[in-house]
Structure 1
Amino acid sequence: MITRRLFTALAASSVLAVAACSAGADATSQQTEYDAAGFRERMAKESTVILDVRTPEEFAAGHIPGAINLDVQSPTLTDDVASLNRAVPYAVYCRSGNRSQVALDIMTERGLEAFHLAGGIGAWQSAGYDIVS
């Protein structure tokens, strides 16, 4: 039979454990997906590298100013990601957000700080932001 003191101690430690896990998750979690306005604001921070992970043909047709093309479908993608500078954050986008999520997953697994544009370049253009070719 559980005594009142033991029950109280177990209940208190459970509450503390949940609180500690919640606080730790909030402190270490970082937003990785932004709408066009949030993406634009975050990518404007100093040293952020903008990566367009679409095909070279899509990139040539129009991209966010200052972006570098890193084709997520390239057979050299793993090596390309491995060569990226770990000291800077990366703003990643594609056409709709699917390929940029794939790239983001690969990048964060390798310890890079990265975030991506929800809705891709279409969302960027819908928000009225410029692209260049």
Structure 2
Amino acid sequence: MRAIVIAVSLLFLAGCAGPQQSTPAQVQNLTPQQFKGERMGRKTILVDVRTPEEFADGHLDGAVNSDFRGGAFAQEMENWDKDKVYYLYCASGNRSGKAAELLKEAGFKYIYNVGGFTDLKEAGFPTEQGDGEY
């Protein structure tokens, strides 16, 4: 009888805990050195969230531009694959941090804020000039 009471109590307590929820995605902040260790591939997208003018003046090789300040980012991200890995940067890391939070709130799983363009450029990342719209 005692074993039945214990078993029923455990079932009741387990039911009170509610359904197990998966941990929501977290935005990871990476330094340029940490970012150098990341592998880029088909499932990774490097997004420059600066203005088109800033982007045209120079950006990381392979980056696409999605203007956070002008509102393009909020619209464009609605069509992005939530299972891909997103590396975001801007001029200082501020806009990319805010953009990363938007991705997190929208249910994206793999989000990295890699900071500011100048720091990345000084760390030796290859850069280019011109278009690169997403």
SS in structure 2 at match of 1:66: coil
Q: Which residue of 2 aligns with 1:32?
A: 28
Alpha-carbon distance between aligned partners in 1 of 2:48 and 2:111, rounded to the nearest angstrom: 12
Deviation at 1:60?
0.5
Contact 1:43 1:49 in 2 (8 A): no
Q: Which residue of 1 aligns with 2:46?
A: 50
Q: Which has the higher contact order (CA 8 A, sep 6+)?
A: 2
CA change 1:47–1:29 in 2 (3 A) is closer
Which structure shows the bigger proportion of residues in helix conformation? 1
Contact 2:26 2:111 in 1 (8 A): no
Contact 2:25 2:104 in 1 (8 A): no
Deviation at 1:88?
0.6
Which structure shows the bigger proportion of residues in strand conformation? 2
SS in structure 1 at match of 2:59: coil
Normalising by structure 1, report the TM-score: 0.71
Residues 95-123 of structure 1 show CA distances to partners (whole Å, capped at 9, x for unaligned) of: 110000010000111011211113x1111
Alpha-carbon distance between aligned partners in 2 of 1:47 and 1:77, rounded to the nearest angstrom: 19
Q: Percent same amino acid among aligned pairs?
A: 30
Normalising by structure 2, report the TM-score: 0.71
Deviation at 1:32?
0.8
The aligned amino acid for 2:59 is H
Deviation at 1:41?
2.6
- Structure 2 residue 107 is the aligned partner of structure 1 residue 111: yes
The aligned amino acid for 2:97 is Q
- Structure 2 residue 68 is the aligned partner of structure 1 residue 59: no
Unaligned runs of 5+ in 2: 1-22, 130-134
Residues 7-46 of structure 1 show CA distances to partners (whole Å, capped at 9, x for unaligned) of: xxxxxxxxxxxxxxxxxxxx87756100112223325244
Alpha-carbon distance between aligned partners in 2 of 1:77 and 1:30, rounded to the nearest angstrom: 19
User: Structure 1 residue runs of 4+, over 4 Å off?
Assistant: 27-31
RMSD: 2.3
